[in-house]
Amino acid sequence: MKDLIKKIKPYLPYLIALIGGGILTYAFAPYDIGIAGIISLSILLWAITKQPPKKAFYIGWCYGLGMFGMGVNWVFFSIHVYGNTAPWLAAIITGLFVILMGIYPALFSWTLNKFFNKHDLVRTLVIFPALWTVFEIARGWLFTGFPWLYLGYSQMGSQLHSFAPIGSVFAVSWAAALVSSLLYNIIMYYFENKSTPKLRNQLFATLLGVWVIAFGCGKIKGTEVSDEVIEVALVQGNIPQMMRWDPEHVANIVQTYRTLTDKVLGTTQIIVWPEGAIPVPLPESQQFFREMGALARASQAALISGVPTQLADQRHYYNSIVAVGLAGPNNNGCENYEMPGCSYDKSHLVPFGEYVPFESILRGIIAFLNLPMSSFVEGPSNQSPLIAQGLHFAPALCYEIAYPFYVQHISKEADFILTISNDTWFGDTIGPLQHLQIAQFRALETGKYVIRGTNNGYTALIQPNGKIQALANPNEATVLAGEVTLMKGQTIWVRFGIWPLLAALVLTLGGGYYWQDRKRMKLFKAR
């Protein structure tokens, strides 16, 4: 038995890191065990402490494999079921994606142990949280970004989420990482009998202080309620993914949305259809939207819908949103969908889902790379908000809601955040609820209502504090109706963006490196 333990012992940090990464999944929706996120990162810190940089890299990679292997395993479902890909090939593609994403925790671990290798409280309480946050920011930006599974999302149910209106989900990630490092230090100093009563009290006081500051941040109101309330109705068509782009089902799809919409005409001001609701691209469907616009206008309403827009080359498309009825500048209607305020073209596309990188080489190799409507191109980066009922809606199409920077930018001139999606790609996995949780954070960050329309769930109205006001039953053709209130003002995050937080992180890392370098020099001179 002792021999077996000796053989296993060198591999324990890798195994424990793998398990620790997997635990992180349970911190997010639908499980929402926030403490799991804190414990998970504490495990990573333990696993890489006092390890050489190269070994720390591979330990961090194992953590990333557990984190993404458990947290985004819905990728396999999308590739296999809707990509019409053999299970073994879908597993390989998913595995490669997980391996690639795992590089971020690996590089984080290597950087921490390479440049900040003095094992003291400065490393764990100052450098560790700041460096983790920097790598999260990088992951959401480099190579189009993958802004999923940010540590901050795990704290939706804790007081730490109060940092979001000040520094977005990244500030919450920093706070959660700090709490993780405090937990690590409290446990390690206790078991190693190195702590004094004074040090223990300081660590517990710091832990309490984080929550006190978070409570104080929750009292900072960047936005305030106005007297203007509007009625909205979100139409959830529940169209199966296999039917959406089949020409034989177009008439039934259109009829589904018409029938559901008829139920609320005359009782609501804004009607929202989900992403790609009408599977007939503009300009071919322009006459249909003119008719729907006239119908909505007669009922003193505006209709906002997702629809593809075919480009002049007849091969490529925009993934678009159009507004008709009482919409456009001065509510004069949108006879021309190219008018400012009448349409929006998605600018952050999903690689391999909405477009194929290196298309001329990869297109057609496997079925997954030849999905219906996978020839989208990016819309312009600087577009006007959608206008309906004289109000401005910041559009975020599907995946775009996951980008904090993007939503911060478009929400500056907006009264509401509007996000529409087609989450049938996820199937009955944890993906749709993770997506909903991300939208909740965008409401928190901006201090505005988020109106979220989906094809099959989860369609929701989200309050400025991130709480869900109303939620439609998933996998059901239905209409979710409710009131949303116009919010005045801007949160600190919307006003200043990432720059204050980024400057603080860079200064923290620079100061931490200088501190550790100075201590190393003193030790060298003493020798």
pLDDT at residue 247 in the model: 85
Most confident of the following: 257-261, 360-364, 373-377: 257-261
Is the pLDDT at 474 greater than 70? The verdict is yes
Higher-scoring residue by pLDDT: 309, 233 = 233
> Band of the pLDDT at 393, cuts 50, 70, 90?
very high
Residue at 102 is within a domain: yes
In this structure, the answer to whether residues 57 and 77 fall within a common structural domain is: yes
Q: Are residues 182 and 240 in the same domain?
A: no
Highest mean pLDDT among 195-209, 309-323, 452-466, 506-520: 452-466
Whether residue 1 is contained in a domain is answered as no
Q: Which candidate in 136, 275, 354, 445 is catalytic? A: 275
Verify that 179 and 233 share a domain, yes or no.
no
Burial of 197: CB neighbours in 10 Å, binned 0-12, 13-18, 19+: exposed
Residue 334 falls in the annotated catalytic set = no
Beta partners for residue 324, in sequence order: 303
Query: How many whole angstroms separate alpha carbon 393 and alpha carbon 387?
Result: 6
User: Is residue 100 located within the same domain as residue 207?
Assistant: yes
Structure tokens at 358: 């290196």
Assess whether 55 carries a catalytic annotation: no
How far apart CA 34 and CA 7 sit, in angstroms, is 35
* Angle (nearest 5°) at CA 258 between 428 and 228: 85
Average pLDDT over the chain, rounded to an integer: 89
Give the integer Cα–Cα distance in Å for 179 and 37.
10
One of 346, 354, 445, 448 is an active-site residue; which one?
346
Token digits of residue 246: 């089949």
The CA distance from 299 to 334, in Å, is 16
What is the spatial distance between Cα 437 and Cα 243, in angstroms, rounded to a whole number?
27
Choose the most confident range, by mean pLDDT, from 349-353, 365-369, 450-454.
450-454
pLDDT reported for residue 463: 98
Are 491 and 503 within one domain?
no
Q: 405 in a domain, yes or no?
A: yes
Q: What is the mean pLDDT of residues 189-207?
A: 78
Q: Which range in 62-66, 191-195, 374-378 is most confidently predicted, on average pLDDT? A: 62-66
Average pLDDT over residues 125-139: 97
pLDDT band at 473 (very low <50, low <70, confident <90, very high): very high
Check whether residue 215 and residue 237 sit in a common domain.
no
Beta-carbon contacts of 444 under 8 Å, excluding residues fewer than 6 positions away, are 161, 164, 165, 464, 465, 466
Domains of the chain: total:
2
Residues 38, 59: one domain? yes
Secondary structure in 3-state letters for 80-131: HHHCCCCHHHHHHHHHHHHHHHCHHHHHHHHHHHHHCCCCCHHHHHHHHHHH
Is there a single domain that holds both residue 238 and residue 331?
A: yes
Using an 8 Å Cβ cutoff, are 438 and 462 in contact?
no
Q: End-to-end CA distance of the chain: give it in Å, rounded.
A: 43
pLDDT at 516 over 50: yes
Residue 82 has pLDDT above 70, yes or no: no
Element (H, E) at 134: helix 128-139
Q: Does residue 275 have an active-site annotation?
A: yes
Residue 221 pLDDT level (bands cut at 50, 70, 90): confident
* pTM summary value: 0.92
pLDDT bucket at 33, cuts 50 / 70 / 90: very high
Identify whether 114 is part of a domain. Answer: yes
User: pLDDT (tens digit, 9 = 90+) per residue, 419-451?
Assistant: 999 988 888 899 999 999 999 999 999 999 999
pLDDT of res. 374: 58
Phi, psi for residue 316 in degrees, rounded to 5? -115, 160
What's the average model confidence in pLDDT over 353-372? 54
pLDDT band at 520 (very low <50, low <70, confident <90, very high): low
Residue 325 lies in a domain: yes
Range list of β-strands (E), 326-377: 343-345
Phi first, then psi, for residue 463 (nearest 5°) are -75, 160
Least reliable range by pLDDT among 74-83, 132-141, 511-520: 511-520
Instruction: Look at residue 524 in the predicted model and tell me its pLDDT.
Output: 47
- Same-domain status, 84 and 104: yes
**Checking DSSP bridges between strand 416-421 and strand 460-462, what pairing results, if any?**
unpaired
Number of Cβ within 10 Å of residue 518's Cβ equals 11
Radius of gyration in angstroms for the set of CA atoms belonging to the chain, rounded to a whole number = 25
142 Cβ neighbours under 8 A, 6+ residues apart = none
Q: Please report whether residue 462 resides in a domain.
A: yes
- Same domain for 365 and 262, yes or no, is yes
3-state secondary structure (DSSP) of residue 17? helix
Residue 2 counted as domain residue = no
DSSP element (H, E) containing 452: strand 450-454
pLDDT value at 355 more than 70: no
Q: Does residue 310 share a domain with residue 448?
A: yes
Contact 17, 51 (CB under 8 A): no
Task: Give the 3-state secondary structure of residue 490.
Answer: coil
The strand pairing partners of 351, in sequence order, are: 355
> 483 with 506, same domain?
no
Strand-pair category, 386-388 with 468-471:
unpaired
Exactly one of 398, 400, 445, 448 is catalytic; name it. 398
Q: CA dihedral in degrees (426, 428, 430, 436; nearest 10)?
A: 70
Give dist(CA 337, CA 289) in Å, integer.
Answer: 10
- Distance from C-alpha of 240 to C-alpha of 242, rounded to nearest angstrom: 5
Q: Report whether pLDDT(364) > 70.
A: no
The string of DSSP letters for 247-289 reads: GGGHHHHHHHHHHHHHTTTTT-SEEE--TT-S-S-BTTTHHHH
Tokens of 313: 């080359």
Give the whole-angstrom CA distance, residue 380 versus residue 320.
12
pLDDT digits (tens, 9 = 90+) for 34-47: 999 999 999 999 99
Residue 348: which pLDDT band, with cuts at 50, 70 and 90? confident
Percentage of residues in the chain with pLDDT exceeding 90? 65
312: helix, coil or strand?
coil
CATH, residue 402: 3.60.110.10
Burial of 44 (0-12, 13-18, 19+ CB in 10 A): buried
192-199 average pLDDT score: 70
Helix (H) or strand (E) holding 526: helix 499-526
Domain enclosing residue 427, as ranges: 223-496
